[in-house]
């Protein structure tokens, strides 16, 4: 599995617009071939902070995601909303075993 947690901080005045734009990306991303999960989280104590958890079967599936119309639309739409550069951290799955992923 190819797992990435993308950390994002948004300017306070754009929180609602960011959520709307990101939900469109998340819903479409979950329909992509090779996508296992694509989750969207907002921090409770600081609602300007978000995490996307993206799980793909292969790194190539993640690369293909970045070529989709919905990702490109999202990236264009939210760029100015971000308070700082977003960053991703890659992980490997220890549990469940890859054979147990649906």
Task: Note whether residue 9 is domain-resident.
Answer: yes
Task: Note whether residue 82 is domain-resident.
Answer: yes
pLDDT of residue 95: 87
Note every long-range contact of 56-59, with CB atoms under 8 Å and residues 24 or more positions apart, other chains counting. Answer: 56/1, 56/2, 56/3, 57/1, 57/2, 58/2, 58/34, 59/2
The torsion of the CA quartet 7, 80, 21, 92, rounded to 10 degrees, works out to -20
Q: Range of 42's domain?
A: 2-92
pLDDT of residue 71: 96
Task: Note whether residue 54 is domain-resident.
Answer: yes
Domain with residue 85: its CATH number is 3.30.70.100
pLDDT of residue 100: 75
Task: Note whether residue 98 is domain-resident.
Answer: no
Whether 11 and 83 have beta carbons less than 8 Å apart is answered as: yes
Task: Note whether residue 100 is domain-resident.
Answer: no
**What backbone phi and psi angles, to 5 degrees, belong to 97?**
-60, 150
Task: Note whether residue 7 is domain-resident.
Answer: yes
Tokens 């147990």 sit on residue: 100
Task: Note whether residue 40 is domain-resident.
Answer: yes
- Mean pLDDT by runs of 10 across the 102 residues of the chain is 96 98 97 95 98 96 96 96 97 84 70
**What backbone phi and psi angles, to 5 degrees, belong to 63?**
-60, -40
Task: Note whether residue 42 is domain-resident.
Answer: yes
- Number of domains the chain is built from: 1
């Amino acid at each position: 599995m190819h797992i990435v947690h993308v950390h994002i901080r948004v300017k306070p005045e754009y929180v609602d617009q960011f959520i709307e734009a990101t939900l469109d990306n998340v819903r479409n991303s979950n329909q992509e071939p090779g996508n296992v999960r694509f989750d969207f989280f907002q921090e409770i104590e600081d609602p300007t902070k978000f995490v996307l958890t993206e799980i793909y079967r292969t790194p190539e599936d993640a690369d293909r995601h970045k070529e989709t119309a919905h990702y490109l639309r999202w990236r264009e739409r939210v760029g100015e909303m971000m308070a700082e550069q977003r960053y991703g951290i890659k992980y490997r799955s220890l549990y469940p075993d890859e054979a147990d992923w649906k």
